[in-house]
Amino acid sequence: MDFRLGRVPDVKDIGLVGVPNSGKSTLFTALTHTGSHGGRANQAVVEVPDPRVRALSEMERSKKHVHAQVRFVDVPGGTSSAQGVASLREIDALCIVVRCFGPDATPAEELASVRADLLLADLAIVDSAREKAQKRARGKATDETAALQRAHDALLAETPLRDAGLTADELTHLRSLAPLTLKPWVVVANMEEGSDVPPGLPEGTVGVWAAIEAEVADMDPDEAVALLDEFGVDEPGLQKVIAASYRALDLITFLTTSENESRAWEVRSGATASEAAGTIHTDMKRGFIRAEVISFEDLAAVGGLDAAKHKGLVRVEGKDYVVREGDVFHVRFAV
């Protein structure tokens, strides 16, 4: 059976993983509003909720608005099968789902079990690569063998590779292996209605009442929101999980607007104006001249770009300007 995901351009993949009966497929339905069918990798691209996109479109009278997107993947087998592990290596971030409902729930133990599986999966692939590198080196110490040995030692000590203090040069010898413990992890507590995240889980754990959100997945969106509000769900799980995933992936959002469309774009935190321009189109980075920038908050406060320009609120920034969350960009370029 083919579990290959097939990359979606400019879309981050978030893989759902958990022990059997953790409810990860229920969470997948709650997040994506799609059904879950056994026997194949369930995938769904969803819009990143961001009210600024529609507001910007209305302010500038754009013909359409486009949200950033992420793809959720529920891989059958998860860490318990070689095919599942291979699919998880293609993922940008892992969303570890632990069951927090029922009298027999042991979420901290479930998390420890998944963590152990991820460490063992990485140890197996690092050991294989280390043996091959040692054969190529014919007994001599090389940068590659040293990096793989450090990774091996860290994993043997049950330390995820992202916490092993590996140098940038050492990481270059590991990235082709796509280690699961180098990826960002988000822990999601799958809870019963009315409950809170239980003690014993890491700080930043996201709590979701997955079952009730899955039940309203097929309803009219407005009716679903109203019903969830009655149950006390003031922030849908989708928003919480994506927000946590963005933090884990170190992503921020900037926006563009024109007569044709207003759009949200994701870029790594710390990206420069020229890098953000390249996210829109490679020609924009290559021929970057300047960026005209204003924060969404300042733009919304005056009601639109014309008023912002009249008040002198739109700044001119060069290619090395560091993009901020919520910046509204207009790139000037020539190729």
CATH number of this structure's domain 1-49+69-249: 3.40.50.300
CATH superfamily of 270-333: Beta-grasp domain (3.10.20.30)
User: Environment class of residue 148 by beta-carbon count within 10 Å: exposed (0-12), middle (13-18) or buried (19+)?
Assistant: buried
pLDDT of residue 5: 46
Handedness of CA 140, 142, 145, 151 (dihedral sign): positive
Sequence ranges of the chain with CATH classification 3.10.20.30? 270-333
63: pLDDT strictly greater than 50? yes
State both tokens at 5. 């995901």
1: pLDDT strictly greater than 50? no
Provide mean pLDDT across the span 21-45: 76
**What is the residue-averaged pLDDT of the chain?**
88
Provide mean pLDDT across the span 62-91: 86
State both tokens at 127. 């050991």
Provide mean pLDDT across the span 126-152: 91
Sequence ranges of the chain with CATH classification 3.40.50.300? 1-49+69-249
Lowest-pLDDT choice from 59-68, 221-230, 288-297: 221-230
pLDDT of residue 86: 87
Provide mean pLDDT across the span 134-150: 89
E runs forming strands in the chain: 12-17, 42-47, 64-66, 69-74, 93-99, 185-190, 206-208, 251-257, 261-268, 288-295, 315-317, 327-333
pTM: 0.86
Q: In 3-state terms, what secondary structure has residue 156? A: helix
Contact 25, 35 (CB under 8 A): no
Q: What is the pLDDT of residues 99-129, one digit of tens each?
A: 999 999 999 999 999 999 999 999 999 999 9
pLDDT of residue 286: 94
Other C-beta atoms lying within 10 Å of the C-beta of residue 89: 17
pLDDT of residue 150: 95
